[in-house]
Amino acid sequence: MEFHRYPTLLTDVTHKRLSEIYLKRKKIIEKIKTQSEALKYQNSIKNKIKKCFGKFPKKTPLKYKVTKVLIYKGYTVECLKYESRPDFWVSANLYLPKIHHGNLPAILLPCGHNQSGKAAPFYVEACVRLVQEGYAVLIYDPINQGERKLYSLTGFPQENNKGFNATIGHNHIGKQLRACGESLCSWFVWDGIRGVDYLFTRPEIDKKRIGITGNSGGGALSAYQWALDKRISMVASSCWTTSYLYDLENEMPGDNEQYPRGFLAEGLDKIDFFISRAGEPTILLGQERDFFDDRGLKEGYQDLLKFHKLLGGQEKSCQLQMDVITHSYSSINQKALIKFFNRALGLKRPSLKEFKTQPQEKELYVTKTGDLHKDGSTPLYKLTAELSKIKKSFRKRGSRNSLIKKVEDVLNLRMPKSIPAYRRTHGEGRWNRKTKDKKFNIFRFVVESENNIYLPLRHITNSVGPFRLDTEKEINLILPNLCSQSEFLNGSIKSKGPCWLLDVRGMGEGLFVADDTSNHYGMEYLLAGHGFMFRDSLLGQRIFDVLSIINLFKSEGVKKIHLQGYGQGGIIALITALLDNRINSVSCIKTPESFEKLVSSSLCYWPDVNFPFNVLDSFDLPDIRSVLGKRLVKSTYTSPEGKHFV
């Protein structure tokens, strides 16, 4: 990429917006001085959090099964599974003290992001520590971890030389769920809620003394369920809490399930999960050298402590425990949470005995093969594909106007009202290049589609000089798959005559780095996640950019506009042509046949931006092609798997 002027454009715009939201949030919290004011804020965020996670499904029979019981010194482990949804099984281990008289306090332990899930050594260590102190512990495998390997039936390896692992699998299935109107975070939480339902079936468990603890991704899940499940009476969340603002500033992405829809639009931050139950026993665990910024943890804790005191919480029932190493569920923090839980329950000081041996991974398998899907559980990608087909069966086709309304609603799309300003990129060699065959000049302009959104626009032309748009009466406007510069130079974009090349926001010169979309945790992925929390659509914003360019061309006297899009650009072109009749023809080359195909592919590498939330409830790309009729002059499809993005 010869020119790369705007790599941080989207980051900067997002940072400004989030900073303003959190400044407003800070001022609101600073003004809270009384118990009634604290309670009002707490009630408001409870409702907002529920809104972000949406409606949970109706509870169905757990159909739980204990497949074997392991006996160790001082405790037993029951290897079991339960259905959180029909035909959707969760693998779990229940640790129980060998000698007990019932009425056991219990801990739910959602795993963090480890390939081995519940059998990861540090999670087993935490379970053994807790059971030795008299707790029952239910630890379960999250989706695509442990015995819930999502893609095992496809033959796709969970770990390979492309760096695909358990957490990347979360991101793949998460974006597909979004297109169906679902959020992966809600699926994760529901598995945990059903885990508490299972604990309620056990006669030896004291239903009023159930706590939750988790680390990293499990720290997120413990925060979510703490806010959403009143049956849990105490929480210890480790190595996740900071501020989303620090995550953005540090270019620190989370996994798909760590981006609840609308969370930022509601003015919330991570600590609000705990403020929603301020006054109840809470300990936050952190590390001084964690990649989750400890500054956000410490600042958030001060906010929590303020609410805890105002709402009458006991002095020692809101704590912050810091260790000094990197991201870890360290033994120091494990011991601290046990001391905290014992104090919260009025139990004696724990003995915290050390142990030399603990159960090994294969011992803890619930299934013979270590794979629930090979044991009959339905993979989530199959459930998602079924959901997409159900959406299609209920979707009604209407008029062009009704389709436009649906598109605008789904993409949160605004129509540009003005003619955008543009710049002539003056400087040594910047405004004039030659094509490889020397037949055309390449002139570069920059259009400001809205405040601080700069779009490189290149004119491939026989025009004699730069500094003027020199628009033809009939133009060809081309949208690339990723980058107009590189795709024009390598021949991916083909044009026999003069044309215009546009990089919409976040593409081309707006890419954070040239290969950003091949990074499973690149900046576009991070920003798409933040957009999801804003209830925005980057796809809709990119369509806005093209519509702004159309306004500019029309103001320059252009009579006919032929729009051509490649790959991702084809999706943008197709939808833009629906919205604007001033586009005379549209060509979509190597574009997905439908959103449904993207959702139904077991593996899909297409970037998150191409999965608008709940799009399949309202429309799909074939609906648009049908309405466009003869204006759609060319349409070729490409693989829904999208391996070219890797």
Q: What does the block give as tokens for 431? A: 């405004």
395-645 maps to CATH 3.20.20.10: no
Domain segments of the chain as ranges:
39-387, 395-645
Q: 465 Cβ partners below 8 Å, 6+ apart?
A: none
Give the start-end residues of each E strand in 453-575: 453-461, 474-479, 499-502, 560-566
| pLDDT over threshold 80, residue 433 | no
Superfamily of domain 39-387: Alpha/Beta hydrolase fold, catalytic domain (3.40.50.1820)
Residue that the structure tokens 């990074």 belong to = 519
Residue 1's pLDDT is 76
Over residues 247-291, the pLDDT tens digits come to 999 999 999 999 999 999 999 999 999 999 999 999 999 999 999
pLDDT in tens, 13-28: 999 999 999 999 999 9
H-state helical runs in 54-165: 121-132
| Cβ contact 136:105 at 8 Å | yes
**Where residue 428 falls among pLDDT bands split at 50, 70, 90?**
very low
Q: Please identify which residue in the block is written with the tokens 């936050």.
A: 284
Single-letter amino acid code for the residue at 369: T
Per residue in 320-378, pLDDT (tens digit) is 999 999 999 999 999 999 999 999 999 999 999 888 889 999 999 999 999 999 999 99
Q: Which two tokens stand for residue 32?
A: 């809270």
Supply the DSSP symbol for 556: T
385-399 pLDDT per residue, tens: 999 999 999 998 889
What is the DSSP secondary-structure string of 370-428?
A: S-TGGGTPPPHHHHHHHHHHHHHHH-----HHHHHHHHHHHTTPPPP-SPPEEEE--ST
Q: What is the pLDDT of residue 164?
A: 72
**445: which strand partners?**
424, 457
Q: What is the pLDDT of residue 156?
A: 78
For residue 429 the two structure tokens come to 């060699």
Task: State pTM to two decimals.
Answer: 0.96
Q: Is 544 helix (H, G, I), strand (E, B) or coil?
A: helix
Single out the residue of 214, 233, 226 nearest to residue 110, CA to CA.
214
Cα 51 to Cα 9, 73, 179, 274, 528: the distances in Å are 30, 46, 18, 16, 20
- List all residues 6 or more positions away from 20 whose beta carbon is below 8 Å from its beta carbon: none
Evaluate whether 39-387 and 395-645 have a shared fold: yes
When pLDDT is cut at 50, 70 and 90, the band that residue 405 belongs to is very high
Please enumerate, as own/partner, the contacts of 466-471 that have beta carbons within 8 Å and a separation of 24 or more. Answer: 466/424, 466/431, 466/432, 466/441, 467/424, 467/426, 467/431, 469/422, 469/445, 469/552, 469/556, 471/553, 471/556, 471/557, 471/558
